[in-house]
Structure 1
Amino acid sequence: MGRRAVLGALAAPFLAGSAEARPPFRLREDPQPLLSPPILDEAGITRKLDDFAGRVILLNIWATWCPPCREEMPALEQLQGRLGGANFMVLPLCIDDAGIDRCRRFYDDIGIAGLPLFWAESLRVQLAFAFMGLPTTLLIDRDGREIGRLQGPFDWNGDAAVGQIVDVLRE
């Protein structure tokens, strides 16, 4: 990735206006099918995105060494508590090379208790979802297709994010 791309990505949140005022996603008119890497849950069960079909998914790709990822985790937990259920879930996908145990220690250190934890190998996740930076968040429809993508942090429990997700749930 070139220097201009990195600088552009870092500047984008400041140029795009207040994160509180705008919804996080520009929704796709042509939902895209997704590949799924093997996703490990805390019980040691290997899953695929298809296992979550039938509900809208906010897939947040993160790592414990990523400061913006760490900062947005409490808001993701609040969003899960607010909207999570049979129709919606936050799927935080940690890609730390040290594995799911390190991710669990991070959850414990900052007091995250109401958010599920999933882990996958970083290279497989990068290949499956074709993303460049962290955090990256995908909004996935009930059929397992990508309908929105955001690179960078966001206030996931703010009115703009909640409002957009509620609108998607009504569709």
Structure 2
Amino acid sequence: MTKLKLLFLTLYTALLLGANPVLAQQADIEALREIRAGDMRKLVIHDTPRAVIDTPFLDIDDSNITLSEMNGKITLLNFWATWCAPCRAEMPALDALNATLGGENFEVVTVATGRNPLKMIDVFFKKAGVETLPRYRDPRMQFSRASGVLGLPVTLILDEQGREIARMQGEADWNSPDAHRLLQGVIEQFGTETPKL
């Protein structure tokens, strides 16, 4: 075999081997898109993960916190407000989802955007029976703007490195069988371990 043929064969093999992980990831993303049903059909799954700007928001003690402090698990990040009717409607489902699936590998993080006094969040959570969700706030809307949130509710799904892999605009039943099936697929594809539902 000539040196030129050997060089072409080596390059072709390297390209083929390098392309397979990309093709496999694209096939997995297409498989996730195929299992979207019900409210989950509104979820836009990106071809490749997107960086999220690590803008601080507030915890219940008015201390700054960032998403990078939460890396290491699949995160469903929901932007909401106490004055937003669709946001309020989906909170019990988000709470139930977190109670069922939340743990070492997955969590639901809610961030109240705009003017949402902690007292109002507490009153709403108590009335709605919300027990497992955090009471994070973004009063100046800096985090939501940096995340490209233009209306509410908006939900992002982040991988273990804190990159956005999917986004939904609008309300959804996040505790439905359709949501569980899709999120299980996300965890299997993007997580290191798969929790049991």
Common topology (TM > 0.5): yes
Q: Find the partner of 1:156 among 164, 171, 174.
A: 174
Structure 2: tracts of 5 or more residues without a match: 1-35, 190-197
Q: C-alpha distance in 2, partners of 1:21/1:117?
A: 25
**Which residue is 1:54 aligned to?**
72
SS at match of 2:45: coil
TM superposition score normalised by structure 1: 0.82
How far is 1:122 from its partner?
Answer: 4.3
Deviation track 1:112-139 (CA, whole Å, cap 9, x = no partner) reads: 1122221112430332111211000000
1:95 aligns with 2:113: yes
Query: Which is further off, 88-97 or 18-27?
Result: 18-27
- In structure 1, the gaps of 5 or more residues are 1-17
Give 1:22 deviation, angstroms. Answer: 4.3
Q: How does 1:135-154 map to 2 (within 5 A)?
A: 135-154=153-172
Please point out which of 178, 181, 185 is paired with 1:167. Answer: 185
Q: What residue is the counterpart of 1:7 in the other structure?
A: none
Q: Is the 8 A contact 2:68 2:162 kept in 1?
A: yes
Distance 1:167 1:124 in 2: 31
CA distance in 2, matches of 1:22, 1:99: 31
Question: After TM superposition, where is structure 1 displaced by more than 4 Å over at least 4 residues in a row?
Answer: 21-24
**Given the alignment, which residue of 78, 82, 85 partners 1:67?**
85
1:58 and 1:46 map into 2 onto residues whose CA distance is: 20
Larger Rg: 2
Richer in helix (by share): 2
Structure 2 length-normalised TM: 0.72
C-alpha distance in 1, partners of 2:136/2:40?
28
Aligned residues: CA RMSD: 1.9
Distance 1:34 1:152 in 2: 20
Percent identity, aligned pairs only? 34
Note closer, same or farther for the CA distance 1:71–1:138 as it changes in structure 2 (3 Å cut): same
